[in-house]
Amino acid sequence: MKRIALIGFGEAGQAFYQGWEQKWQGSEAFKISAYDIKTDSPDQKVSAAKWQDYKSADITGCATMDQALSGADAVLSLVTADQANTAAKTAAGHIAEGTFFFDGNSCAPDTKKRSALAIDTAGGRYVDMAIIAPVHPALHRVPVLLSGEFVEAAQSIVKQLDLDAKTIDGPVGTASAIKMSRSVMMKGLEALMLECVLSARKAGVDDIVLDSLEATYPGFGWKERAAYMFERVMTHGLRRAAEMREVAITVDDLGLAGTMAHATVDWHQRIGDLKLDTTGFEDLNYQDLADLLLTRPELKN
């Protein structure tokens, strides 16, 4: 393998790139190019910020998908869930015969199947990749699950990319079914934490409530977890809402009423819509974060 292309250069894309850079320390085990749709934004600040991301990372940033995919042996798609199928269909117009396309986006199995059809029809080789843990601090070694008919053929490249990957038997969508089912709990916990703590904080009983939860479920670290979950949603609410829409589709498609998934979408969307500058939020405690949110009139009914 000589070259890899990253589609999407947000938190996940930058984390994978950072991990590879640290591992090989500039020895160029393979060349990396990146394309992110934000460079096409009509908002010049958004576009300029993404070009600055490329410059800061010292990666080859590309103005078009075609440029990024040119000569690539493998492609990693790491975009928001709502853009994943569009990214795959666009990539299908430029992907070379036999190129592996690792779709690491948080999508419903049926969405992954539609993306696979586009890539495979174009001559690429689609791999369903589910990222099942935060990308920090693991970076490119974050645990991933792989499924689909080209998983075995992709093993050489998986090893070269130094991925912490586990193969799951089954067609495209199998790995993502695991990811989506898990997200009902993981993102649902964040939404429950928001509703519980904000309600308790406004009522003036948050300290008692969280101490009670710690007594019931010892070792969870409720106050620290509350701060972490608040910061994550405040920073990535829109991305999480997009993922949870795919989770809701997954549950609905299984013939179950995805009530919890749909409700989780609402909380993540509401917080994400605030578009807060969360710089430094990781150092704040849950009370400070809750108080900040409670001052926002948008959260009121």
**What pLDDT score was predicted for residue 299?**
87
Mean pLDDT over residues 263-280, rounded? Answer: 96
Radius of gyration of the chain (CA): 20
134, HSE (Cβ side, Cα atoms, 13 Å): 8
- Rounded to 5 degrees, φ, ψ at 101 are -120, 105
Residue for token digits 């869930």?
81
Question: Is 191 within 8 Å of 264 (Cβ atoms)?
Answer: yes
Could you check whether the bond before residue 297 is cis, i.e. omega within 30 degrees of 0? no
How sure is the predictor about 215, in pLDDT bands with cuts at 50, 70 and 90?
A: very high
Nearest to 11 by CA among 75, 104, 94, 97: 104
Residue-wise pLDDT tens digits, 143-190: 999 999 999 999 999 999 999 999 999 999 999 999 999 999 999 999
How sure is the predictor about 200, in pLDDT bands with cuts at 50, 70 and 90?
A: very high
pTM above 0.85, yes or no: yes
Nearest to 69 by CA among 38, 94, 87: 94
Question: What is the pairing mode between strands 143-147 and 125-131?
Answer: antiparallel
d(CA 85, CA 80): 10
Residue 226 has pLDDT above 80, yes or no: yes
Fold match between domain 3-172 and domain 181-299: no
**What pLDDT score was predicted for residue 39?**
96
d(CA 268, CA 274): 10
- Mention every residue, 6+ apart, whose C-beta is less than 8 A from residue 56: none
CA angle, 109 as apex, 90 and 229 as ends, to 5°? Answer: 95
**What pLDDT score was predicted for residue 26?**
66
Mean pLDDT over residues 252-281, rounded? Answer: 96
Boundaries of every domain in the chain: 3-172, 181-299
**Domain topology for 3-172:** Rossmann fold (3.40.50)
* CATH for the stretch 181-299: 1.10.1040.10
Q: List the 74-77 sheet strands across, edge first.
A: 60-61, 31-35, 3-7, 74-77, 100-103, 125-131, 143-147, 164-167
